[in-house]
Structure formats: C-alpha cells, structure tokens
Amino acid sequence: MSLDPGLTVEALPERRGRAALGFAGGVAGFLLTLAITLFGLVVVTFVIGRVVPIDPVLAVVGDRASAATYQRVRAEMGLDLPLIEQFRVYLVKAVTGDFGRSVLTTNPVIEDIRTYFPATIELATLGTLIGTLIGVPLGVFAAVRSGSVLDQIVRIVGLVGYSVPIFWLGLMALLLFYAKLDWVAGPGRLDIAYDYLVTPVTGLLLVDSLMQGQLDVFWNAISHIVLPAALLGYFSLAYISRMTRALLLNELAQEYVVTARIKGLSEARVIWRHALRNAAVPLLTVVVLSYATLLEGSVLTETVFSWPGIGSYITSSLQNADMNAVLGGTLVVGAAFVTLNLVSDLLYRLLDPRTR
C-alpha cells in the first residue's frame, strides 16, 4: 500500500520524524524570535526613559529639594552609574518584574499593573467578541453579495470605523446613550455604591462578581462596560469584516468551490462549510491581531470613559512625570502585543499545512 508516489509504509516513520523535528524547530524559532523581540522592547523603553525631557529624580524629591538630597536620591535610583551599567540593572529588574515604585500611587509598579491591566483585558476581550460575532457574518454577506447594495453598506460601515476618531465617537455615544437616553451607566467601571463589594480574584470584575454571586454588581458593571466595549467592538468590526470579505472572495474564486457547486451542494453549505472553513485559519490570525490592537490602543477610549485600565494608568503617570510607571506599563503592554502577534503567526503555521 502506498499513500502517494514514492512514499511507502516503511517510509512513514521517517517522514513523521522529520515532521516532528520541523515542528520542534518551529517552536524553538518562535521562542527565539519572542526573546529577541522582547529584548528589543526593553532596549526601546530604556532609551525612552533616558531621552525624555523629564528628570525622574525631580519627580521624586520635588524642585525645592537640596542638592545633597537630589544627589542622594539620584544615587539610590542608580542614575549615577555608567549608562551600560544602568541598562544591565534595568534589564535584570525588568526580567524579574521589578519596574520600581510609582511616584503617583507609591505602590510597586508591578502591583499597579496587576490592578489596572485586568480592566483593559476585560474591555478589549468584550470588544473583540462583539467585533468578531458581528464582523464575520457581515464580511461573509458582503463577499457573497459582492458589488451589491449590502456590500457597499458594509464597506461604508468599515470605512467610518477606520476614519472617524474614536474619541469623538466615544463622546457622541456618551452624549446620546448616557446623557440623553439614559440607557447605560456613565463613565467609570462601577457605581460608587458597589465599590468594594467584590473581592478581586482574577481582576476581571464581571467574572469575579459572578463567582461571588454578586449579581447586582455584575449588572451594574455590564451597564458601564457595554458602551466602551461596543465602541471598541465597532473599531474591531471594521477591520474584521473587511478582512473576512477579502479572504472569502479569494476562497470563492478557487476551483474546489466551482466543483462543489457542480456537484449540487447548496450555496449555504458551499459558503459556510467549505469556503469559510478554509478561510478560518487566516481569519483566526486576524482576530488575534485585532485583540492585540485593542489591548494596546484603547488609551483614548479609556480616557473618554474614565475606564481604570492600563491606558489611563500610563496617561496619568505621564502627566505626573512618573516614569517608572510609564515605562513599566509600556513594557507590559508592548510585551502582550508582541506575544499575541507571534502567537497568531505560530497558530497560522500550525493550523495551515500549506505554510509548512
């Protein structure tokens, strides 16, 4: 028995061994790329911390401190060391998660990140779910009805999502749905009356409130998150629907689709079971990249809605010259973005045999 010309049963173990080695090599290459990229990110954040026109010592001691106090704090912060030694110390601390202490909150920066980052994860996750659940079907319908009125509407919706500033959309949404119609709660993550009723476990308020049976807190949190999440979902929808349309149009032009139609398969089965299934692998990477973008780029949305996420934390820290917090938050967000990008590339290689 032979599976293809030149391939015998006896040769299968050898081919499987080569495949396993290739997979191991791919994983090793992924880890090496991740390490190099994160190292480059550490270098960039270190350089930013040294070239910005903000004196971190003055941010700690104030501009009325004596020269002796200034020099003492400068030595304690390691800024009197040679630049290469400063980078070595910064690298070692960054690897261990030590980003110093925040001037604004007086807490270790890593603790602040653990407090604020889950709020951003919660918002970006819900936004990505909204964008995916609506954007994929819209992209499919636009591809199937290419050139129709529906296709033009979907493309215009996507164009608006890309073109209109997200902070303007956020302000208009607050004016309409909160101030005028009173359909949703206002800025913030929770009403003051519900503060401290839920003990943080995962940091995700919706999850923690459900786990602890605090349904009043859960629904209040839903009322607060629905508007900013919908806004981010619209931004994500614009990208996902456009990419879904392009990927599906490419699949519908393939010969196997023509063959399936000739065989008499229904149009719905051809589209949803065959064409979309083959487009699902690159589409998965599109969704992951969209999620990474929302994690990194939700600063304006968090500012407009007073959302206590990592974007608001970095912004307020920058305004107060709190460089430890700015650099620590930037490094963590950048690491998350880089990791998700590389994971999407690895998933594409694992799930699509053609790339191997």
pLDDT for position 211: 93
Residues 6+ apart with CB under 8 A from 105: 112, 325
Beta bridge pairs of residue 8: 2
Segment 224-244 shows an average pLDDT of 92
Report the half-sphere exposure of 83 (CA within 13 A, side-chain side): 6
Alpha-carbon span 264 to 306, nearest angstrom: 55
**Alpha helices, DSSP H only, in 253-275?**
255-262, 267-269
Q: Which residue has the higher pLDDT, 255 or 13?
A: 255
Q: Residue 305: which of 236, 229, 237, 219 has the closest Cα? A: 229
Q: Which two tokens stand for residue 320?
A: 């107060």
> The tokens 């089965």 sit on which residue?
269
DSSP string, 171-232: HHHIIIIIIIS--S--SSSS-GGGTTSS--SSS-HHHHHHHTT-HHHHHHHHHHHHHHHHHH
Average pLDDT of the chain? 84
Three-state SS string across 35-64, please? HHHHHHHHHHHHHHHHHCCCCHHHHHHCCC
pLDDT for position 147: 84
Check pLDDT > 70 for residue 222.
yes
Check pLDDT > 60 for residue 256.
yes
pLDDT for position 23: 57
DSSP string, 52-119: SS--HHHHHH-TT--HHHHHHHHHHTTTTS-HHHHHHHHHHHHHTT---B-TTT-SBHHHHHHHHHHH
Check pLDDT > 60 for residue 143.
yes
The 3-state DSSP composition of the chain as helix, strand, coil percent (nearest 5) reads 75, 0, 20
In angstroms and rounded to an integer, the radius of gyration of the C-alpha atoms of the chain is 25
Residues 6+ apart with CB under 8 A from 102: 108, 109, 112, 317, 322, 324, 325
pLDDT for position 356: 56
Q: Helix, strand, or coil here: 23? A: helix
Highest mean pLDDT among 18-27, 76-85, 241-250: 241-250
Q: Helix, strand, or coil here: 321? A: coil
Check pLDDT > 50 for residue 330.
yes
Alpha-carbon span 66 to 206, nearest angstrom: 49
Check pLDDT > 70 for residue 14.
no
Q: Which two tokens stand for residue 50?
A: 């040294």
| CB contact at 8 A, 170 and 301 | yes
Q: Helix, strand, or coil here: 6? A: coil
Segment 309-332 shows an average pLDDT of 85
Residues 6+ apart with CB under 8 A from 69: 61
Residues 6+ apart with CB under 8 A from 258: none
Alpha-carbon span 77 to 83, nearest angstrom: 13
Per-residue pLDDT band at 1 (split at 50, 70, 90): very low
Q: Helix, strand, or coil here: 2? A: strand
Alpha-carbon span 228 to 343, nearest angstrom: 26
pLDDT for position 213: 92
